[in-house]
Amino acid sequence: MTPLVVALAGGLGAALRFLVDGEIRSRVPRHLPVSTIVVNVTGSALLGGLAAAHVQGLLPVTVHLVAATGFCGGYTTFSTSMLETVRLAQAGAYRLAVANAGLTLVLAVAAAAAGYGVVSGLV
């Protein structure tokens, strides 16, 4: 039963990613893939918070698995981020490619740490 629930949560995460991505793309110029960065940063923050909640004993293993692996796994998109980086480099936009990869890495790690810290501080 757990794999089915993880899959359903992953589908919900992917659907939300689709909506968030579309909304941001409709409002922000497309030189830098801001929508993918936003999705990965917000997903990392959520994942950090979920990890802290799990470590603190606030989330049972199955709930953590469904939320982290399922929902966050469906919502975040490392592969798309790296593909966009490659496409920028192939187009000769090397600075944007480096900015995309660097911003994604630094902001996502910082967001995960912040999410972990916020939830840990609440307990």
Each residue's pLDDT tens digit, 83-116: 999 999 999 999 999 999 999 999 999 999 999 9
CA distance 64 to 70: 9
Residue 58 sits in which domain range?
2-122
| DSSP class per residue in 38-100 | HHHHHHHHHHHHHHHHHHTT-S-HHHHIIIIIIIIHHH--HHHHHHHHHHHHHTT-HHHHHHH
Q: How many domains does the chain have?
A: 1
Which amino acid, one-letter code, is at 47?
A: L
Mean pLDDT rounded to a whole number for the chain:
96
Work out the pLDDT band at 29, boundaries 50, 70, 90: confident
Structure tokens at 6: 């993880």
> pTM above 0.95?
no
Q: Which residues contact 85 (CB under 8 A, 6 or more apart)?
A: 97, 100, 101, 104
